[in-house]
Amino acid sequence: MLLALQAYTRTSSMEQNWSHLVSVSSFLLLLFLLSKFILRKTRPHKNLPPSPPSYPIIGHLHLIKEPVHRVLQQLSYKYGPIFALRFGSRPVLVISSPAAVEECFTKNDIIFANRPHLLTGKHIDYNYSSMSTAPYGPHWRNLRHFSTLEIFSTTKLNTFLSIRQEETRSLLKKLFRDSQQSFAKVEMKSRLSELSFNIIMRMVAGKRYFGAEVEDNEEARIFRGVVGEVFALGGASNPGDFLPLLQWIDFQGFEKRKKADRFYQGLIDERRNNKEGKNKTMIDGMLALQDTEPNYYPDNIIKGSISTILLAGTDTSAVTMEWALSLLVNNPKVLEKARAEIHSYVDQERFVDEPDLPKLHYLQSIINETLRLFPAAPLLVPHESSDDSRVGGFDVPRGTMLLVNAWAMHRDPAVWDDPTTFKPERFDGGENGEHKFVPFGMGRRRCPGAGLANRVVALALAAMIQCFECERVSEELVDMSEGVGLTMPKALPLEAMCRAREQMIRVLSDL
């Protein structure tokens, strides 16, 4: 019996082993068939763009270091102006040529009209409901229509003219106070930031939060904390954006940062309860829409719009002005030419004003050349493809994140003559092509605030050039290295020696 039991046990064990082998083989066969099916489904994407070697799971994330636009430029030297990367689970297309830009934002404009769903859009932009992050569709079109008519139209910008004039005069007053008798060293970054933030927030909520004219110092202190929080979150890259398994880890503290939301809500409630001065601010305009369509324009939509304008319309202008002034003090002949142009149209008995700006072509060329060399968004805001497409003859699968390296394209010797040299005259000669100069993006999602940004930057620069002599602190050129940040700030904030021009002292004294 013992021998029979041993024989039965061996037989049973063999049968179990055989059954296990059959199960494993069947599973492997199933995997093989599934992989063949998936490969067959993805076979249309044969001609994918060139790509560097990648690692499992993380893809090419190990290649990305600050400043990202320079890293991507170096990769383009090896792989061309159209190449593919993979950021963890996300396919990415990087382009840096006018032809590719034109193809993406003309022929394929609708396909690339979406934004990728990143965690910043969920937490800062109220679950992708703001104009900057909303999917392309009816909701986005309504927000875009509102912003075009009620915030950035010529008519609306003209109604905010007095704000820009007053804040520019305030800047001149502070500079004059510090440098009316002789040259004085002036730190420019903080002054330009105050100008930009006060203009935007007076448009948005009717209040200024910087300078001696602040009405509520405690509220201003809270606002400055909110600004730091929003910009830190807006410029942050969360690992969960590219590695979904990490989304449950709150790396950037998104869930803990509710200060901005409370502040925005306070601004809305204040304007809602304001019995005077209605229809004077951006919030008033959105509250009027809320009265007619309460379900479509809840408070979260208004808060998302405030956040978008704060992120897109403040630091960008301040950074552009700082780069422009740095270039001008490094190029005094250009500065003198710009001053001569202003004096040819504006006498020295008054300040230059916005109606003068269309005549100042050389000043506009200086601004354009600054945006070419130092775009406030060196990588345009990412897009995402909603369908399969082709770019430059390469297949681009649906769901690919598109990065446009504007910084690299603006400095490409195949596109620009002597690309690293500051030459405003190139814009007088028509060197700026429609698809090779894209500081504000292109296509349906081009920045709608370009007109406002140009007015703020042009008026402030013209006024400072008209009223002050500015020189370098030493014989050494101002350092033009880029720092790390969402809007590519200068690595070293600009300091310049400034003095009120004798011809303008009387006008400045009237301030």
pLDDT digits (tens, 9 = 90+) for 337-384: 999 999 999 998 999 999 999 999 999 999 999 999 999 999 999 999
158: in domain: yes
Domain boundaries, position 282: 119-509
Q: Is the pLDDT of residue 163 over 90?
A: yes
Among 139, 452, 125, smallest CA distance to 314 is for: 452
| Band (39; pLDDT cuts 50, 70, 90) | very low
CA dihedral sign, ordered 43, 48, 50, 54: negative
The more confident residue out of 188 and 16 is: 188
Share of the chain above pLDDT 70, in %: 86
146: in domain: yes
Mean local confidence (pLDDT), 445-459: 96
The more confident residue out of 241 and 197 is: 197
Residues 6+ apart with CB under 8 A from 83: 49, 50, 51, 52, 75, 76, 93, 94
| Band (295; pLDDT cuts 50, 70, 90) | confident
Mean local confidence (pLDDT), 302-312: 90
Q: Is the pLDDT of residue 252 over 70?
A: no
Q: Is the pLDDT of residue 33 over 50?
A: no
Q: Which of 106-110, 291-295, 386-390, 422-426 shows the lowest per-residue confidence on average (mean pLDDT)?
A: 291-295
Residue 470 marked in a binding site: no
Q: Model-level pTM? A: 0.88
110: in domain: no
60: in domain: no
| Band (232; pLDDT cuts 50, 70, 90) | low
Which pLDDT belongs to residue 118? 86
75: in domain: no
| CATH number assigned to the domain comprising residue 475 | 1.10.630.10
Q: Is the pLDDT of residue 6 over 80?
A: no
407/262 Cα distance (integer angstroms): 36
**Please, what is the average pLDDT of the chain?**
87
46: in domain: no
Which pLDDT belongs to residue 330? 98
Number of domain units in the chain = 1
414: in domain: yes
Residues 6+ apart with CB under 8 A from 392: 49, 81, 82, 95, 97, 99, 100, 103
1: in domain: no
Per DSSP, what are the bridge partners of residue 389? 396
| Band (257; pLDDT cuts 50, 70, 90) | low
